[in-house]
Structure 1
Amino acid sequence: MNLENLRPPVGLMIVMLALSAHAPYHARAQSPRFHLEEATIADVHRAIRANQLTATQLVQLYFKRIEAYNGTCVKGDLDPATGLMLGDLTPIENAGQLNAYTTLNIRGKRSKTDASDNDPKMPDALEVARAQDAHFARTGRFVGPLHGIPFAIKDNYDTVDMRTTAGAAAAYANDKPLQDATMIAKLRAAGAIFLGKTNLDEYAPASIARSALGGQTCNPYDTKRVPGGSSAGTGAAVAANLAICGLGTDTSGSVRFPSTANALVGLVATQGLVSRAGIIPLSYSRDRGGPMCRTVQDTALVLEAVTGTDTRDHVTAVAHGKKPVAYRNFANKKSLAGKRIGVVREFMIEATIADRDSIRLAHQAIADLKRLGATIVDPVNFDGAIAEIMSSYEPSFFTRTFKEAIPAGADPIDRMVTLTMDPKSLPTGMRGVNLRVIAGQRRGEEGKYGMNVYLQQRGDAKFRSVDDMFATKTFAGDLPVLQNAFGAKAKTLDTPDHASHMLRMQNLQRILYKVMADNNLDALVYPYSTIPPHMVLANRTPEVYNPRTEPRLLKAGTPMSDANLVPGEPVLKTDLDLWRGAGSSWSVNLSPVSGFPAIVVPAGFTREVYDRVPDPKDPNGSRLEGPKPDQIPVSMEFLARPFDEATLFEIASAYEAGTKHRRAPKGFGPLRGEP
């Protein structure tokens, strides 16, 4: 992509230099020189006020970086019929490219169905920036709190001016929706400038960071690895300074996993605080949109701009009457004095040696929280709350999932009383009754329902339902995963599994409320994941290795052939796919299923990693390969009560300030001439 024509005219540059030269001395003396790498929202606004920078210049600088770093990061053949990379891939070490963006917000490059792209009511990124510069020159005021801030937007947010297909090479009659997603509209009103749409796992159900439209996205810290998913492109773009902030969506970790894998701050707010209207859905009960930035303060500023009730999304009714919160005022803390934080140890299980290095960093993070003044409750025990609440509200949890909890001949009600009174009688161990199991619910039927509702609302003449979705022949992801996620064969929502899922969400909320109240906790803490992001997969439909869940690696019920299991740990079985979710995370579903808000913050980098590979001695098995020296980001996740995002920002900002773990990836540094 040639962006030479995006440079400002020489005359404009002279004017800008003159403005800078005639700026008040005190403004120039007190304003530090602007640097693009790792720039924050405050840095940009300070530079604009000091006449060091304009919104137009900033957008041009980011487009230059995108031109330099958004190339292909894998080797693979293009399908001659479609021109898409649908076959096997080979990752490139130190590729120097990321393939994060699929569409750029430049006229003529924004749509495949609107080649003319000449609607003056749909300005592109540079046109928006020029209008903002004119407004600032005329009034001396910003258009909003995000004036001039370049964003990367995941390609499942409806944008009226850019193609929106969730990464699919789908045959829409009009690939540009007729209405912005609510979060998009709010960001526009706040002054955000959208650089483009970013790649994702096709339709967002997995974490291989690959789509038919966009191809493979790579991790800027190790281009042989994925950058997390499904918000892969946003994570890679923000980490490599191809935008200041971005938007992701999270159903089972898709904001928090790529934020973790890219040393970013990622937030999912209380379910209902932010509208999901206009987001291509995966699960109407769990989907949430969220900001991904390099700092806690920037994340807070973005959240401020997008909260509020919305008649297009019924879940936001729970926020009715709640006053807007200036979250930025809570995102500047240095101390954790007075905070009580509970450690969830069951999300820190050293099941294999691959977990060990990340857990080392988690231990250090807990020590840092204590050093910063927090009172640490370690560990937090959930057994009593689980026994009491599940026995009374969902006894089928025991009769279906843990039949051994009710011995043959036992009176079921008496047994529920016993479990309530004596939580120690619960089944224990890796496969016992625990928080991982409670939060491990899956969805299926609702995927079909939600997608069909979205497509009906979008009103495209050619693409109307899940049937049209699966009629598309060009999928880059694992087709069975997509079919399962969107209930391709589902006939009804009235199923025991769906009813159980909806009930489980309420019961997990009850459990968390009780445990946090009993222990007087402000938040819970745990590592988002204890396994680094996996290698880019050679095959789009792996036979042996399903990256979404580790260690679901064998046929159901077959013992795992892994000599690297920690001694004394029970062998896991692959039919229990609820143990680890997206990004091999034990904790992935705690926030989505409960709807409680959560934030991930960088906690350091690994020293060495292990990778799971097929076992040549066992066609149905796998083994761990390593150790390999590799510095991969690790994050801690904090979870608070609903509508207590302010507390999350207090804790996250103090931890960030006291540890300063964020650092830019080495292979994507400043370009020549970049400020």
Structure 2
Amino acid sequence: MTIFSSPWYVIASVVTRTVLLGSVLTIASLPAFAQSRFQVEEATIDDVQEAIQQGRTTCVEVVQAYVDRARAYNGMCTQLVTEDGEPITPGNGTVRAGVPLVFPSTTMAVGKILPDYDDYDGLPIEFGRMEATQSDPDIQQQYGMVVGMEDAGQLNALGTLNLRGERSVTCQAGCDVHPSNAALPTHCPAVCEVFRQQPDALERAAELDAQYGRNPDLDAMPMYCAVFSFKDVFDTTDMRTTGGADASYAMDAPPEDSTIVGELRAKGAIIYAKANLAEYNAGGGNPGGARAGSRTFGAGARSSWAGTSCNVYDTARETGGSSSGSAVSVGANLATCSICEETGGSCRQPAWRNGVVGFVTTKGLMPYGGSIGVEPYLDRAGVHCRTVKDAAMVLDALKNPERGYYDPRDIYSALPRALISKDPYASVVVDRETMGSKPLAGMRIGVVREYMVKHTDNDAAMSDLVNEEIIRVLRDELGAEIVESFDPEYPDDPSIPNMEYNFQRAIAEILPVHMPELIQEKDDAGEYKFAVPRYDVSTRDYLVRAAEGKAPLSEDLNLRSINNSPATASFSFHLLQYLMRRGDPAVTDWKSLNANSKYYSESRAVAMRNWEYKQNIASEGITRRLKMRDVMRLVVLNVMYKNDLDLFVNPTITIPPVRIGYAGEPSVKDRPRGRFPTSANLGIPELTVPAGFNEIVYEPEYVLNEEKDGYDSVTNTEETRLESPLPVGISFWAGPGDEPVILRAASAYEAATGHRVPSPDFGPVGTDDGRKEEEAPEP
């Protein structure tokens, strides 16, 4: 019997809510739909606050409605991949919303994923299996190879909910009983006495209801009763924080909120849940050293503690990472908004795949103090909401009344004051009811053709869809003037004027003097990567001629390829720095972290041990990226000025989400798989908005290589028509400090199109769904 199923936990949980919430609702009471006159599904921040002011709901009812949805939809959505596909007998997982996780007993035979498996002669496959976790040996999790489940009815978006008794493993069950109900049991760690003083999400909602009733002070608390999830890299004093890791801290809730959590808490937000993620923001890869003796295959954003999240529109497909649970929780109406994080694109990638708005700002504008990172000069917080206005309101709420947007714990927040808007960011948002005719008239937008090349059939379907949106909506309906950049592999559109000064010309003018080493870079065979026939690219004379437009650059040196850089070792530094600042007595450094952790695969465990021994953090990668930020900002800003552009637009990416556990779409000519990394590398703002739905995919496949010791991912040319179309994203981006202009353009596009449509698979929770509080959700 686990501690969560003990009589003590059940009694303490129910008694606590009976005492604190009276007869309104308890964790074991009927779902919120039975009593509330307000539906949280698709509700905006304004909707929630207006309903409270009108007496149609209370903050407690709002939070309880989200708890009910978590109980219905936050279960497991992946199954194990085994050698024979035979059923297993899994144990229970951790408790969420009062119910232990139930894992599927079905498995998938590896031969259904890896063709010609009988001929495979490589490293042993690490097949899927159920094992006890490090943090709590009484609960289990999936390890090894997994695959997504079709029509799972579950999403696994939230790893921890801020509910008394289940929000911490250190202080679980009776060790989190409310102080007014009982003394701390003698078997509980002493630190739980302080921890249990903190209200959980429902109790905090009850406090707000008691204090403000129908009259919340929205000037002081603009996020009043907005229910937030947070990617599990942002420290929360009232919830477990481990970066998604199965790490056994002495106290799994940190002693101080991250800056961003603290600001939102002070502005009336409900600190509700920790969102699942790709562990440690996808964890910096493997720095080299020891090698794993086995391997796994397949895509998916995964953490050792919470498992793999699944796509809102097709649970067999990946969410995108690393902020997977953040986007899924918002897309499936499991939270009002979420705070995500990205290093290379981890906010924007899951946003478009799950049909929500993803907003990342100029690096440093949103505070990052008190958070786990991978590469400090790239890591930045972002926002997932269902509307552009909500995202803008969240950004406004993060402004501290004394410090503004400066965060003493984040050195990158020391921005020039001129980059920060003096007016509220939400004030520029275009409203559907009042936007009038041609609200973007006078705005010039650059269409980035480098990010619309039709490398494969998958690229073509999504590129064409977004191109039509740009012309039909932005130009014809909203009145913006558009011009297009140049890429030799994208056909010129005679109906759209060309940029007079494009990215290729800007790169040629700026790169030679600032980064000649990039132009002269050689491949493994010792040949110049960017050789130009009849020119010696190693010479000063060539570089000057290229800068003056008298010699060409290689067509391979473009807006896509210039984002590439060698690996860095910053993860080794940043995670150790986080652990030192956190000050946990059990997990103090890399060695003690690994000693107290368990990882979802052998290859992941080996990589983390290699990071433990990575003492030298100097790398060519960080030098390249820091130089490239300055160089490419010059490129972008010169293109903007010389073409009189306000912003740029392009698809967030041009390939659809792949199936969890299956092959991923190969990268072609420096087109990545999940998002274009320019805004992340440059630290400039970008906002992705739903742009419609794509019903055509070409599923990539695994092919056994000639040596028969591995599998290659290959592009498919066989068309598949989807019964449930998948979202597409359109991105608006510009220079540093240009948040107001992209908010205006993106909100006008959103208002004109209304492309955000919730998945019918995760609709309102009702009395006829057959799911009761005491029943575990079946995947």
After the TM superposition, which of the residue ranges 286-295 and 614-623 deviates more from structure 2? 614-623
Q: Which consecutive segments of 4 or more residues in structure 1 shift more than 6 A? A: 1-10, 406-411
Tell me the residue number matched to 1:330.
428
State yes or no: 1:385 paired with 2:532.
Answer: no
1:637 aligns with 2:688: no
Residue deviations 1:181-232 (CA, integer Å, cap 9, x gap): 1010011011110221111011112772211100111111000001111111
Give me the whole-angstrom Cα distance separating, in 2, the residues matched to 1:47 and 1:34: 7
Of residues 35, 56, 59, the one that matches 1:55 is 59
- For 1:265 and 1:387, how far apart are their aligned partners in 2? 34
SS at match of 1:85: strand
Range that drifts further, 116-125 or 411-420: 116-125
Please show how residues 210-359 of structure 1 align to structure 2 within 5 Å: 210-307=302-399, 308-320=405-417, 322=420, 324-333=422-431, 334=435, 335-359=439-463
Task: Find the partner of 1:591 among 670, 673, 679.
Answer: 679
Are 2:481 and 1:375 aligned? yes
- Residue 413 in structure 1 maps to residue 489 in structure 2: no
Point out the more displaced range, 478-487 or 591-600.
Answer: 478-487
Q: Could you tell me how far 1:130 is from its partner in structure 2?
A: 0.7
User: How many angstroms apart in 1 are the aligned matches of 2:611 and 2:635?
Assistant: 29
Measured in 1, the distance between the counterparts of 2:567 and 2:602 equals 17
| Structure-2 separation of matches of 1:274 and 1:580 | 28
- Paired residues for 1:95-494 under 5 Å: 95-115=152-172, 116-117=175-176, 118=178, 119=195, 121-137=197-213, 141-142=217-218, 144-205=221-282, 208-307=300-399, 308-320=405-417, 322=420, 324-333=422-431, 334=435, 335-367=439-471, 368-371=473-476, 372-379=478-485, 380=499, 381-400=502-521, 402=529, 404-405=531-532, 412-422=539-549, 425-428=552-555, 432-471=556-595, 474-476=598-600, 479=603, 483=607, 490-494=614-618
Deviation at 1:345, TM superposition (A): 0.4
Give 1:20's aligned residue: none
**Do 1:445 and 1:486's aligned partners in 2 also have CA atoms closer than 8 Å?**
no
CA distance in 2, matches of 1:410, 1:234: 46
Aligned letter for 1:310? D
| Partner Cα distance (1:407, 1:475) in 2 | 53
Q: Distance in 1 between matches of 2:685 and 2:610?
A: 25
Q: CA deviation at 1:627?
A: 1.8
Distance in 2, Cα, partners of 1:172 & 1:408 = 59
Q: Name the SS for the 1:65 alignment partner.
A: helix
Distance 1:327 1:423 in 2: 44
- Partners of 2:609 and 2:375 in 1: how far apart? 8
How far apart, CA to CA, are the structure 2 residues paired with 1:478 and 1:329?
50
Q: Percent identity?
A: 36
Q: How many residues align?
A: 617
1:21-60 → structure 2 map (5 Å cutoff)? 34-60=38-64
Letter in 1 for 2:319: P
- Asked if the contact 1:257–1:582 (Cα under 8 Å) also holds between the matched residues in 2, the reply is no
Distance 1:54 1:60 in 2: 10
Q: Distance in 2 between matches of 1:410 and 1:91?
A: 48
1-structure distance, mates of 2:64, 2:203: 11
| Cα distance, 1:498 vs structure 2 | 2.5
Instruction: Check 1:488–1:603 CA distance in 2 against 1; reply closer, same or farther (3 A cut).
Output: farther
Deviation at 1:79, TM superposition (A): 2.8
In structure 2, the residue matched to 1:663 is: 757
* Pair 486,262 (structure 1): closer, same or farther in 2 beyond 3 Å: farther
The AA in structure 2 aligned to 1:605 is F
Residue type of the alignment partner of 2:467: H
Alpha carbons of 1:408 and 1:627: their partners in 2 closer, same or farther (altered >3 Å)? closer
- How far apart are 1:34 and its partner, in Å? 3.8
Distance 1:152 1:376 in 2: 37
- Greater Cα shift, 131-140 or 143-152: 131-140
The answer as to 2:68 corresponding to 1:64 is: yes
Decide whether aligned partners of structure 1 residues 508 and 11 sit closer, same or farther in structure 2, where only a CA change above 3 A counts.
same
Q: What amino acid maps onto 1:419 in structure 2?
A: A
* Alignment-mate amino acid for residue 589 of structure 2: S
Give yes or no for the alignment of 1:621 onto 2:712.
yes
2:292 — aligned with what? none
| Conserved 8 A contact 1:304-1:325 | no
Q: 1:4 to 1:376 in 2, by over 3 A?
A: farther
Aligned with 1:187: secondary structure?
helix
| Contact 1:146/1:191 (8 A) holds in 2 | yes
Residue 30 of structure 1 is matched in structure 2 by none
* Alignment equivalent of 2:666, drawn from 518, 541, 551: 551
SS of corresponding position for 1:400:
coil
Instruction: State the partner residue of 2:191.
Output: none
Task: Please say if 1:79 is aligned against 2:130.
Answer: yes
Structure 2 vs 1, CA of residues 410 and 649 (structure 1 numbering), >3 Å: closer, same or farther? closer
Q: TM-score, normalised by structure 1?
A: 0.86
Q: How far does residue 493 in structure 1 lie from its aligned partner after superposition? A: 3.6
> Relative to 1, partners in 2 of residues 1:410 and 1:274: Cα closer, same or farther, differing over 3 Å?
closer
Letter in 2 for 1:448: S
| 8 Å Cα contact 2:301-2:321 kept in structure 1 | yes
How much does 1:462 deviate?
2.2
Does structure 1 conserve the Cα–Cα contact (< 8 Å) formed by 2:21 and 2:203?
A: no
| Distance in 2, Cα, partners of 1:255 & 1:481 | 25
In 2, Cα distance between equivalents of 1:405 and 1:267: 39
Letter matched to residue 535 of structure 1: R
| Structure 1 residue ranges without an equivalent (≥5) | 14-32, 539-544, 553-571
Q: Secondary structure at the match of 1:632?
A: strand
SS of the residue corresponding to residue 698 of structure 2 reads strand
Change in 2 beyond 3 A, CA 1:427/1:113: same
Conserved 8 A contact 1:526-1:638: yes
Range moving further from structure 2, 110-119 or 301-310: 110-119
Deviations 1:439-494 (A, max 9, x none): 22354211111111111111122222334444566322684699499956644343
Cα RMSD of the aligned pairs, angstroms, is: 2.7
In structure 1, the residue matched to 2:700 is 612
Residue 153 of structure 1: CA displacement? 1.1
Q: 8 Å contact 1:217–1:227 — kept in the other structure?
A: yes
Aligned mates of 2:512, 2:258 — CA distance in 1: 41
Query: How far apart are the structure 2 equivalents of 1:9 and 1:114?
Result: 22
Q: Is the 8 A contact 1:201 1:477 kept in 2?
A: no
Q: Secondary structure at the match of 1:80?
A: strand
Paired with 1:410 and 1:289, the residues of 2 have a C-alpha distance of 40
Secondary structure of residue in 1 paired with 2:758: coil
TM-score (norm 2): 0.75
CA distance in 1, matches of 2:743, 2:511: 32
Which stretch of the first structure deviates more once superposed, 376-385 or 273-282?
Answer: 376-385
How far residue 9 of structure 1 moved from its aligned partner, in angstroms, is: 7.1
Deviation readout 1:133-174 (Å, 9 max, x if unpaired): 112138653460010111111111100111111111012222
Tell me by how many angstroms 1:326 deviates: 1.0
How far apart are residue 533 of structure 1 and its match? 1.2
Query: Which of these two proteins has the greater Rg computed from alpha carbons?
Result: 2
Kept after mapping to 2: 8 A contact 1:446/1:486? no
Matched residue SS, 1:84:
strand
